[in-house]
Homo-oligomer: A and B are copies of this chain.
Amino acid sequence: MTTDIFFQIVTPDEAMTRLFDLLPTDPQTERVGLHDALGRIIAAPIISPEDSPAFARSAMDGYAVRAADTYGASEGLPAFLTVDGEVPMGAAAERPLQPGTAQLIHTGGMLPPRADAVVMVEYTQPVDQTSVEVLRPAAPGQHVIQAGEDLAAGDELLPAGHQLRAQDLGALAALGITEIDAAVRPVVGVLSSGDEVVPASTQPAPGQVRDVNAITLSALARQAGAEVREFGVAPDVRAELERRTRQALNTCDLVVISAGSSVSTRDMTADVIGSLGQPGLLAHGIAVKPGKPTIVALVDGKPVFGLPGNPVSAMVVFGLVVAPTIRRLLGLKLNEEPPQRPARLTRSLASQSGRIDFVPAVLQRRHGEWWADPVLGPSNLIATLVRASGLIRIPLDAGGLAEGAWVDVETF
């Protein structure tokens, strides 16, 4: 009797394709003020409504000039210009620039009409209060930021599905955009199961253990951009597991069940998930170690995942199937990759072809190079993940890796 006969193993990609083909392509949206928009996903492209800057600005401290008035200027034969006042900051010049004159201007100041260049103060020499010598010629446009040069009206500033970073908020502020349409955060329901599992705040009786997965999976879901509701611990009783799963489905957009460790518990979980709605189970078993006994399902439009109870497996599988589904529901572009650091293996690792292996590892800097030191020992200990700085991913058909080989470590 082997556990394999219970599974129709598929690759994670295949499981995700089956699920994503059935999900809507566009997220629900809501208006979000710019101050709450960091990290949110924009639901539609943002088109610049105006030119930024709205006027030609000086990029230097110096003099606004007509470039033609400086042609041929040199230290030996400077161009002589009359200083016709100073451009105030935050206001238009008092008058257009007259031929043969210069106006003192500060970085960020608005160019006077008919000025087309700025001479840096370093390349000028004051003659008296009202005149200045220019020691180098200025080309038209020199040290000038043209109207619309930063962001031009009608240009696409950001594409749909983009996650807003600090500087994106700055660019939106520059354009006077103080609200955006963001993807609504999906609500993830987190449910643990197992007769032996008790809430973290409880003193366990002999044979009982505290729930590790609920808080870990909740934190991972929040990091992926979701809101979380927790539904406690269901005992290994079919009716109770079904009742709690229904409750989660009623109020959430996606449900994650950490499904216990024994074969019988996992089979009961699959059975319950499969019975709750259409199309039901899409995959039962994926080609990943640790994490094989994973359940991927869609229940009347809502993704439901059964994750192995082992905390290491649960975390690996969350990153592999649940986080991408949250990102998909958010409309985030799918080419996003988890943060990775290339590093060299401190020891050889065996792997089985046809399966993706994840091995927790500590990153170490040695002589300026990054090395990944696998954390060995039983794979089902939470301490393994606490000690590790990331996961080494051994691809589907690698069949093992030699000491010194370069690997990608997905840091966490």
Contact = CB atoms under 8 A, between A and B. Distances in A.
A359 to B, nearest CB: 15
A219 B166 contact: yes
Interface in A188-237: 194-198, 200-220, 222-223, 236
Nearest to A261: B107
Nearest to A235: B90
Most buried by B among A170, A171, A197, A220: A170
**Chain A: interface size category:** 35 or more
A250 interface: no
B165 A412 contact: yes
Given A122-B1, A215-B34, A262-B106, A382 B171 contact: yes
B207 A109 contact: yes
Most buried by B among A206, A216, A263: A216
Interface in A66-108: 88-92, 106-108
Interface string A145-161: 10001110000011000
B167 A386 contact: yes
A201 B167 CA distance: 17
A176 B203 contact: yes
Contacts of A262: 61, 89, 106-108
A95 to B, nearest CB: 14
A35 interface: yes
B55 A206 contact: yes
A400 to B, nearest CB: 20
A19 to B, nearest CB: 23
> Which 5 pairs between the two chains have the least Cβ-Cβ distance?
A170-B216, A107-B261, A173-B200, A166-B219, A90-B196
Interface of A: 1-3, 34-35, 38, 52-55, 57, 59, 61, 88-92, 106-110, 121-122, 145, 149-151, 157-158, 165-176, 178, 194-198, 200-220, 222-223, 236, 260-265, 309, 311, 315, 339-342, 378, 380-383, 385-386, 411-412
8 contacts: A89-B194, A106-B262, A110-B206, A150-B381, A172-B200, A174-B210, A176-B210, A339-B411
